[in-house]
Chain A
């Protein structure tokens, strides 16, 4: 589309954002795949419409205040990128725009509290642990809370497992085939620490030695996608220094983190650490891709046949193009039947912290996702992202269903566990 964006006014991101506006030809192929367009049915809440609004703001024809409610409702799921024939990299317009907008807008008190919690508590496992404990105590008072806080409380799992510290190095079992570093994540460590342990065990079983840097922290994806670019950069720099260079890859088992870290080059555009950002991002891989490329040690059958639905996390499927690898891994487990979820590429509503900031839409999407899952009549669900797992779990429980929702690596771990039990 034609535009008159004064790119110089927006620093290094001016050109980036303008480029994506230029690439859009307003064809509308993105509309049918956009979850908010499906739910809200109005042009302002579609990728095509949001591109117009962001363009108008950058051109100075529209205020941030007027446009921002619609940009806020964007999930950042990038389903539009998958559908776009023109190759618009929508995320490269959205995220810099959100940073720009954050500087310009005024937020109401509740919104500021929410964002404080998301930016200063969630990324730090020790703080988050304490906050989560407090929140669980406050559960009986939930009907009094405003929607956002209530949703946060609702999303907490009923039990928080105790956290054990990670060793500096987790050894490979048998002949070593590779050596990697693992990002342990932030919220995941509190909400679902078992995912990391399952990951370590599965990698080890496959002959991979894992280094777990002690000084690592949150990857900064939540901050990056939420318009807090400076905070994101701070978190990224910390990880640049704490991750070793002599590993084959930097692995993550969280879709959101993987996609966030691959955006580091954009985060550091025209800044001194840009080269380092490229180097780091090039080494990042989702653990499912790594294992697929390495060649998975054939897992033994599960104890009982299992019908399993694999849910595509948006930040794996759309943001990273990772669809095949997790499926191949799961299919290699004997007596596991993989089932496709109808309308599978539509976001579950978790979308990072979207389910906290836009609870109504997140609920509609969560219920839709669970509806389509239940149509498949599976025994279990697997996904490659902790946010999705919690969202789907919450809405399944809301329907009175107790189907387990596991991480892909947890399913593999269970398959291998019978080996461990049989080992002398």
Chain B
């Protein structure tokens, strides 16, 4: 980089062109204007930028980023400045781009259940806008009354309801962004499904390193019919932790489980006067949500469990006001410790839930050893801890000692098999620890991806990554077949060797999706079916890890023995689909209706990049915000970016029984109307499929006691229909996920859609004889195409849709439109510069 002109402080001069974009009142350079921006909620760090600019339009943001790129001026985007990891800390030689004025909700579509928002929209305002339609935006970080969606996207913010609902990335369907070099990309869309790598998911949590999100398409969900909330006071943290274990063991899946310890309670009570029970060493908050018909009996079971758990005082929220009071104290807990101490560092580590007790005991021990008080607030449901380390910055050495204690806690989380951050992100604060959670190779791969998008590191420079020294580009070694290198590896090391040995490889698992694993003149098949076996399974943690070549059917069997399952319902299990192939293809099935698709359950991956390096991403715990979300990148990547070798998933308790209502509606319009009504009903449904014009299957799952009541309720909405149960019912769905309805010789195509697009799509498709089935209440179409593929291509182009060919002839697997190819290309440069893997 050429040295810039500098002023007398050694800092670069501001480009004058900046003053042409912004009038003086939105171009802040005076000392009194810059001082308030020097810090975010992590006040131990302060830095004064050269200027702060306050754009009012998307165009101004784009112009600014392009100017920064031209002038090699680093920039930091900022929403409300509430980051607890220093994510929006300014850089002295750069500018701050304040996005708070881009605060419009551009669109809110209650039928499609989406909202398109600008980055400065406040999190809670999305739910407020959706409330009249009985919808809300689920991710609820405690700062939601002030934090912005842009910030949530950058840091993949969490909140108290992550176990059930996931994090921000599970609720972002599409992003329009300006990359650090000024290129505009559009990722994802309005459908819950997608083809190609999950770039939207990958963008979320990139901590501002990938430029600035300008428009964000959010998923809205129906407000649960009921919340049942209780709080229970315990005389020890251990007892509270034990209660949590019992709740989980009983197969209950709460919306939220939170614990506050004595010190945190003291602060929260002083702040909010919620009337929390006095003298508690630990306070447990448990909340169930959903339909009354299911939740009420479940809550009764929960109460029994709590009563037997040794709590000395239990309170049940009687109404919404009670519930709000319980949560107010918890949500204000961090800030309320300001009453106890002038300064604090809040940590954000994650440990496997079963090791929470151990983690807390260790924190207490360290707190005594250092003689520094630590208040604990944490998401007991997902193992995400928030130790609040209290100190007085005016005391000599207090900050340093507090940071030392913080570091030991972070290391403990790594040691216990967790993560260094569950939701606050790395920011400035935990950079050094990223290199302890991931090894050198993992770090280099992430940095290469970063530099492929931002070679000068202008976008949020100094965040996330510590100083790494020299990171060479991916080695351009020619293939060197070694003795014993095989195209049927049985171990991870053999996979690495294969990639190093062969010039051009296409992965194949079980061969269930032939169009995705086709050999060619140059490309050889890398058969991963021998790389098989479950590596780790912890039912009480809701996690399991398997080698990529493990058959889906085998995994399903193992899980069902523990009463658990894969909620994303992978397809083609009966045709030999493997876990790796499922992720690489991104093929979730009808069952994704209830809890989500692959992106909502894949926690961690290991893969081999084009240089034969083994790279890890994600973690083995259900909540993790450390590093780039490589697992999401791999979903739908078709083996173009790397060879998957092992995968870690979140699993859920399996419904005990199922019943399916099958009905025939008179025409398509009527059937779509029923789908709409089902969506607004807020019923929990396992699957909602439609075979045009009017054949519907609606699947319910749950406890036997409530199932018939729920079926009656469903019939009241939809009409009588036929109720299928037991074996007849399960084989019905088995045939669906294996596409038994697709005629021999047809091309099988996956097409993400939305309910609103179905009428126009059907206008084209109904003229052609092709079996097809819409899943997930109209978000996903499986098409058995028997005509010429060019015809389908033309239809998809006309309607702005994309398709993935799973089986059938064709030049490549993609049809129609694809998103974000600019981004994919750059990432491929970083992960597979040699082009070992396909480039579809």
A interface, CB within 8 angstroms of B: 1-4, 22-29, 31-32, 41-44, 46, 48-50, 52-53, 56, 62, 66-67, 69-70, 83-88
Q: Report B238-262 CB contacts with A as 1/0, cut-off 8 Å.
A: 0000000000000000000000000
Q: Is A28 a contact of B338 with CB atoms below 8 Å?
A: no
Closest Cβ of chain A to B556, distance in Å, is 46
Bound CA–CA A222/B37 (angstroms):
31
Residues of A within 8 A of B39 (CB): 26
Interface residues in B1-55 (C-beta closer than 8 Å to A): 28, 30-33, 35-41, 43, 52, 54
Closest Cβ of chain B to A263, distance in Å, is 21
Question: Looking at the complex, which one of A23, A27, A31, A52 makes contact with B334 (CB distance below 8 Å)?
Answer: A27
30 pairs, A vs B, C-beta closer than 8 Å: A2-B393, A2-B394, A23-B338, A23-B342, A25-B41, A25-B343, A25-B344, A26-B41, A26-B43, A27-B338, A28-B41, A28-B82, A28-B146, A31-B80, A32-B146, A41-B100, A43-B37, A43-B52, A43-B81, A48-B36, A53-B35, A53-B36, A62-B32, A62-B35, A66-B31, A85-B272, A85-B336, A86-B271, A86-B335, A87-B270
Bound CA–CA A32/B122 (angstroms):
9
Closest Cβ of chain B to A200, distance in Å, is 36
**B145: Cβ under 8 A from any A Cβ:** yes
**B143: Cβ under 8 A from any A Cβ:** yes
Bound CA–CA A49/B28 (angstroms):
14
Bound CA–CA A397/B143 (angstroms):
39
Bound CA–CA A41/B104 (angstroms):
13
**B332: Cβ under 8 A from any A Cβ:** yes
**A66-B31, A70-B32, A85-B338 known; A41 and B41 CB under 8 Å?**
no
Bound CA–CA A146/B34 (angstroms):
31
Residues of B within 8 A of A24 (CB): 338
Bound CA–CA A26/B336 (angstroms):
11
Residues of A within 8 A of B143 (CB): 27-29
Give the residue name and chain of the A residue nearest to B33 (CB).
Answer: A44
Q: Is A2 a contact of B43 with CB atoms below 8 Å?
A: yes
Q: Is B36 a contact of A27 with CB atoms below 8 Å?
A: no
Residues of B within 8 A of A29 (CB): 143, 145-146, 332, 335
Residues of B within 8 A of A22 (CB): 342
Question: Looking at the complex, which one of B52, B336, B392 makes contact with A86 (CB distance below 8 Å)?
Answer: B336
Give the residue name and chain of the B residue nearest to A51 (CB).
Answer: B36
**B440: Cβ under 8 A from any A Cβ:** no
Give the residue name and chain of the B residue nearest to A24 (CB).
Answer: B338
Bound CA–CA A56/B34 (angstroms):
12
Total A-B pairs, Cβ < 8 A = 110
Give the residue name and chain of the B residue nearest to A42 (CB).
Answer: B54
Closest Cβ of chain A to B38, distance in Å, is 8
Bound CA–CA A112/B744 (angstroms):
91
Name the residue in A31, A66, A84 with the highest tally of chain B Cβ atoms < 10 Å from its Cβ: A31
Name the residue in A23, A24, A32 with the highest tally of chain B Cβ atoms < 10 Å from its Cβ: A32
Q: Is B339 a contact of A23 with CB atoms below 8 Å?
A: yes
Residues of B within 8 A of A1 (CB): 43, 342-343
Closest Cβ of chain A to B334, distance in Å, is 7
Bound CA–CA A22/B43 (angstroms):
12
Bound CA–CA A23/B37 (angstroms):
19
Closest Cβ of chain B to A100, distance in Å, is 16
Bound CA–CA A224/B39 (angstroms):
32
Residues of B within 8 A of A88 (CB): 338
Q: A41-B100, A85-B272 are in contact. List 8 more A-B contacts (CB 8 A).
A: A2-B43, A25-B344, A29-B145, A41-B101, A56-B35, A69-B32, A83-B145, A84-B335
Closest Cβ of chain A to B770, distance in Å, is 52
B interface, CB within 8 angstroms of A: 28, 30-33, 35-41, 43, 52, 54, 80-82, 98, 100-101, 122, 143, 145-147, 270-272, 332-339, 342-344, 392-394
Q: Is B36 a contact of A2 with CB atoms below 8 Å?
A: no
Q: Is A43 a contact of B336 with CB atoms below 8 Å?
A: no
Bound CA–CA A28/B88 (angstroms):
13
Residues of A within 8 A of B332 (CB): 29, 85
Bound CA–CA A43/B98 (angstroms):
9
Closest Cβ of chain A to B30, distance in Å, is 7
Closest Cβ of chain A to B418, distance in Å, is 26
Residues of B within 8 A of A87 (CB): 270-271, 336, 338-339
Q: Is A27 a contact of B342 with CB atoms below 8 Å?
A: no
Closest Cβ of chain B to A30, distance in Å, is 8
Residues of A within 8 A of B31 (CB): 62, 66
Closest Cβ of chain A to B98, distance in Å, is 8
Bound CA–CA A358/B53 (angstroms):
24
Give the residue name and chain of the B residue nearest to A71 (CB).
Answer: B32
Report the 7 A-B pairs with minimum CB-CB distance, sorted nearest first.
Answer: A86-B338, A49-B36, A2-B393, A85-B332, A85-B335, A43-B36, A25-B338
Closest Cβ of chain B to A208, distance in Å, is 31
Bound CA–CA A66/B344 (angstroms):
30
Q: Is A66 a contact of B41 with CB atoms below 8 Å?
A: no
Bound CA–CA A23/B270 (angstroms):
13
Bound CA–CA A62/B334 (angstroms):
30
Residues of B within 8 A of A85 (CB): 271-272, 332-336, 338
Bound CA–CA A316/B394 (angstroms):
36
Bound CA–CA A86/B340 (angstroms):
9
Closest Cβ of chain A to B786, distance in Å, is 57
Residues of B within 8 A of A52 (CB): 35-36, 38
Residues of A within 8 A of B339 (CB): 23, 86-87
Question: Looking at the complex, which one of B41, B52, B54, B393 makes contact with A27 (CB distance below 8 Å)?
Answer: B41
Residues of B within 8 A of A42 (CB): 28, 33, 54, 98
Residues of B within 8 A of A50 (CB): 36
Residues of B within 8 A of A44 (CB): 28, 32-33, 36
Q: Is B335 a contact of A53 with CB atoms below 8 Å?
A: no
Residues of B within 8 A of A4 (CB): 394
Give the residue name and chain of the A residue nearest to B343 (CB).
Answer: A2
Name the residue in A23, A26, A43, A67 with the highest tally of chain B Cβ atoms < 10 Å from its Cβ: A43
Bound CA–CA A48/B39 (angstroms):
11
Give the residue name and chain of the B residue nearest to A30 (CB).
Answer: B146
**A53-B35, A66-B32 known; A27 and B394 CB under 8 Å?**
no
Residues of A within 8 A of B40 (CB): 26
Bound CA–CA A76/B334 (angstroms):
26
Closest Cβ of chain A to B55, distance in Å, is 11
Bound CA–CA A84/B270 (angstroms):
12
Closest Cβ of chain B to A342, distance in Å, is 11
Closest Cβ of chain A to B297, distance in Å, is 36
Bound CA–CA A83/B272 (angstroms):
10
Give the residue name and chain of the A residue nearest to B28 (CB).
Answer: A42
Bound CA–CA A401/B238 (angstroms):
63
Q: Is A53 a contact of B342 with CB atoms below 8 Å?
A: no
Give the residue name and chain of the A residue nearest to B56 (CB).
Answer: A41
Bound CA–CA A4/B28 (angstroms):
26
Bound CA–CA A70/B28 (angstroms):
13
Closest Cβ of chain A to B160, distance in Å, is 16
**A52-B35, A53-B36 known; A27 and B122 CB under 8 Å?**
no
Bound CA–CA A1/B40 (angstroms):
12
**A43-B81, A53-B32, A62-B35 known; A25 and B43 CB under 8 Å?**
yes
Bound CA–CA A70/B32 (angstroms):
9
Bound CA–CA A200/B729 (angstroms):
78
